Amino acid sequence: MDEKQAKERIEELRKQVEYHAQKYYDEDQPEISDFEYDMLMVELRNLEKEFPQFQSQDSLTQKVGGHVKEGFQKVTHEVPLQSLQDVFSIEEVEEYITKIEQKAEENDIKQVTYVVETKIDGLSAALEYKNGEFIRGATRGNGLVGEDVTQNLKTVKTIPMKLKDKIDITVRGEVFIAKDDFEKMNQEREENEEELFANSRNAAAGSLRQLDSKVTEKRPLDIYIFNVQKIEGKEFNSHYEELEYLNQQGFHVNPVRIYCKTMQEIKQAIEKIGEDRENLTFGIDGAVVKVDDLRFREILGTTAKTPRWAVAYKYPPEKKETKLKEIICQVGRTGVITPMAILEPVKVAGSTISKTTLHNQDFIKQKELKIGDTVVIQKAGDVIPEIVEVKKNKRTGEEIEFEMPKVCPVCGSQAVREEGEAAIRCTGIECPAKLFRNLVHFVSREAMNIDGLGENIIQQLLDNGLIENIADIYTLQLEDIASLKKNGQKFAQNLVDSINKSKENDLYRLITALGIRHVGSKASKLLARKYKNIDNLMHAELEDLSMINDIGPIVANSIVEFFSQEQTQDLIQKLKAGGVNTEAKEEENIDNRFEGKTFVLTGTLENYTRGEASNLIEKFGGKTASAVSKKTDYVLAGEEAGSKLTKAQNLGVTILTEAEFQEMATLGQAPSRHA
């Protein structure tokens, strides 16, 4: 492709992705799948990289910010980002409106109008534009000084990088995560055994304040603009008029804004928002009543903390009593066993609640919950139903104590709770509840490395009953695999070849693939080197395992528990029958040139993945660490190396370029210089 063709294609792609982004984010009417959109973005990104002369800040590919290495810079707000005065009853709203009307009468203002808006539950931020282009974004902070989060805000796709008018303007908005997106985030975190976000507001705040904007990019942040802080070269008479103008400029403006003239209309607006809050896609924590006339706002002025021209009405949290009928246990993909409360259905905040999570045994004990109790339910952050109270005075004596199961309710394997953890988990490797995740891990690149057997194909194999456990991978027939795709013979043959190739893997890959808790590829190599075959490892004693360097008692106990399970022993026998190698391969031409040396990897390498570089280091007798310390011998620094590089420089640790590392790996010669 020549330059002219590249330019034309880049311009065409930009129009397409902008069109589909608007359809998806602005209009909620996507016309193509997420995958198709992603492929357009990949093509555009690759072309811009190949032809850098055509790169532009206007491109959606440029919304990904770089690293913020040493925390955020402070930003002094030219116009303070004040908080609002809160009120908690309609009577207080009436008192506020009465004072406003009195002030209007004193200033010979005949008619006061208002705008009632939703108070979005998120994190406040200011966006600055110069000549119509986004130049800086900051958090509210203390109202006077905030944090510079410009690079992170560039990853929020609903923030326009360029406005229609070439104006100097600063606007204020609320960064948030939509209800559905928040639920998906927590589901994914639960599956990955990560701590759940308490509420969407915390999740949004934490996401916006990430030091690495690539992390922020992965979070589904959105923003609604609700105020003009400052504008030059243009004047408005009313707040409502400002919002309409911002909408025309391409901002996502708070969609709920109700124009009111009387207290009765204000009351109706507050009630309507309260009735509709369950159907809103975003969480709210109140309704804001604002004076619409901007000149009157100037007369009203502000206090040190709050404007006098607005007030926030906070809806009381709706709580309902119901019966805890039963507690059942569900098993997640990672094997975590979670107790679930089955309730007599009750309507709370507009939705019917019939069940809610009880998290773990500690939560049940803390609340002193018993089956048969009368409990109080409320919805946390307008999203998650939760039990907040037990009505002990309503107990009859027939309530039943609950204890977490000792075995998995799905497969019957031992259920264990490790020291220092709240979760109880199933230990069975063939547990149906864990099967999909176990399969994905087993075939992954760091494990058995079965190319072509991705998540989609695994799900199809399960759905079609072609596999029921991990070992079934090695009994798959060519025609079974081919049936999954139209004209799938070539794909099937490639996958069969990859499966057969994996049978010859070294023992350490099989140990990694088994997914023993706390045992990664490093520990797997140590175990394979010491025990030589899977049978020796299966019969290894706790004391012997604990003595291995970098294993320790916790990991050793996990290994012993894993191999004591009947499901594990059954799987090993099936894998042997399927022809999978269970012996450690002899290491040829032993070269310990890195023996006793510790490497830390940082940044992006051009010729290696992190895993490949680590394997090479370990092959030559060295080891890798995740953090830089005085004990670190080398830091291998790729592109966009972060704080680890800075720390290495401060400690005087030897820093290697990728070229120097390659020279060491091939010639065995290390540079003598230091940082």
Domain spanning 3-63 has what CATH number?
Answer: 1.10.287.610
CATH 1.25.40.340: does it fit domain 435-577? no
321, 374 Cβ separation under 8 angstroms: yes
CA distances from 272 to 174, 254, 279, 315 (A): 21, 16, 11, 12
Supply the DSSP string of 141-197, one letter for each residue.
TTSSEEEB-HHHHTT-TTS-SB-SS--EEEEEEEEEE-HHHHHHHHHHHHHTTPPPP
In this predicted structure, what is the pLDDT of residue 61?
Answer: 65
| 638-667: b (≥16 Cβ within 10 Å) or e | beebbebbebbeeeebbbbebebbeebbee
**CATH class name, domain 317-425:** mainly beta
Q: Please tell me which residue in 4, 7, 23, 119 is annotated as part of the active site.
A: 119
State the Cα–Cα distance between residues 218 and 24, nearest whole angstrom: 17
- The residue ranges of every structural domain in the chain are 3-63, 86-313, 317-425, 435-577, 598-667
pLDDT value at 32 more than 60:
no
Helix (H, G, I), strand (E, B) or coil at 441: helix
User: Is pLDDT larger for residue 175 or for residue 28?
Assistant: 175
Amino acid at 49: K
CATH 3.10.50.40: does it fit domain 598-667? no
pLDDT in tens, 456-501: 899 999 999 999 999 999 999 999 899 888 888 999 999 999 999 9
pLDDT value at 17 more than 70:
yes
Active site residue 119: yes
CA distances from 463 to 58, 228, 490, 570 (A): 44, 53, 22, 23
Amino acid at 133: E
State the Cα–Cα distance between residues 533 and 530, nearest whole angstrom: 9
Going by the DSSP 8-state scheme, the letter that residue 669 receives in this structure is -
Q: What is the mean pLDDT of residues 77-92?
A: 89
In this predicted structure, what is the pLDDT of residue 36?
Answer: 55
Question: Residue 349 — pLDDT band, cuts 50, 70, 90?
Answer: low
pLDDT value at 381 more than 60:
no
Q: Which two tokens stand for residue 491?
A: 């794909």
In this predicted structure, what is the pLDDT of residue 675?
Answer: 45
State the Cα–Cα distance between residues 42 and 368, nearest whole angstrom: 53
Helix H, strand E, coil C: the string for 596-636 is: CCEEEEECECCCCCHHHHHHHHHHCCCEEECCCCCCCCEEE
Q: At what angle do helices 435-443 and 455-463 cross, to 10 degrees?
A: 140
Same fold, 317-425 and 598-667: no
Question: Residue 313 — pLDDT band, cuts 50, 70, 90?
Answer: very high
The sign one gets for the Cα dihedral 191, 196, 200, 206 is: negative
pLDDT in tens, 613-622: 888 888 788 8
Burial class (CB within 10 angstroms; exposed 0-12, middle 13-18, buried 19+) of 586: exposed
Supply the DSSP string of 462-476, one letter for each residue.
HHTTS-SSGGGGGG-
Least confident of 239-248, 304-313, 520-529, 585-594: 585-594
Question: Residue 107 — pLDDT band, cuts 50, 70, 90?
Answer: very high
State the Cα–Cα distance between residues 306 and 82, nearest whole angstrom: 5
For the question of whether the overall pTM of this predicted structure is more than 0.75, the answer is no
Maximum average pLDDT range among 231-245, 379-393, 427-441, 537-551? 231-245
Domain spanning 86-313 has what CATH number?
Answer: 3.30.470.30
Burial class (CB within 10 angstroms; exposed 0-12, middle 13-18, buried 19+) of 315: middle
pLDDT value at 170 more than 70:
yes
